Amino acid sequence: MRARTPRLVLATLWLGVPALLCVLALFINLGRDSGWLRRPERVVTLERRLAALEADLDSDVPVGVWSDGPNMEAHFLAQYALAPRLLDTAAQAPALLLAVTAPDGHGPGAPYRLRRDYGGGLRLYVRAPR
Task: Examine residue 72 and tell whether it contacts another protein (CB under 8 A).
Answer: yes
CA 40 to chain centre: 11
Contact criterion met (CB below 8 Å) for 123 and 98: yes
| Residue closer to another protein, measured from CB, 50 or 102 | 50
Task: Examine residue 3 and tell whether it contacts another protein (CB under 8 A).
Answer: no
* Residue 82 CB partners (closer than 8 Å, separation 6+): 53, 57, 63
User: Which secondary-structure segment (H or E) carries 25?
Assistant: helix 4-32
Q: CA dist 67 to 5, 28, 81, Å? A: 73, 43, 17
- Segment contacting another protein by CB under 8 A, of 22-30, 92-100, 103-111, 120-128: 22-30
Q: CA dist 58 to 36, 39, 89, 114, Å? A: 32, 27, 19, 18
Q: Which positions from 87 to 106 touch another protein by CB under 8 A, shown as an x/- string?
A: xxx-----------------
Radius of gyration of the chain (CA): 27
Task: Examine residue 119 and tell whether it contacts another protein (CB under 8 A).
Answer: no
Task: Examine residue 124 and tell whether it contacts another protein (CB under 8 A).
Answer: no
| Residue closer to another protein, measured from CB, 32 or 130 | 32
Task: Examine residue 22 and tell whether it contacts another protein (CB under 8 A).
Answer: yes
Residues that bind another protein (CB under 8 A): 7, 10-12, 14-15, 18-23, 25-26, 28-30, 33, 35-36, 38-40, 43, 46-47, 50, 72, 75-77, 79-80, 83-84, 86-89
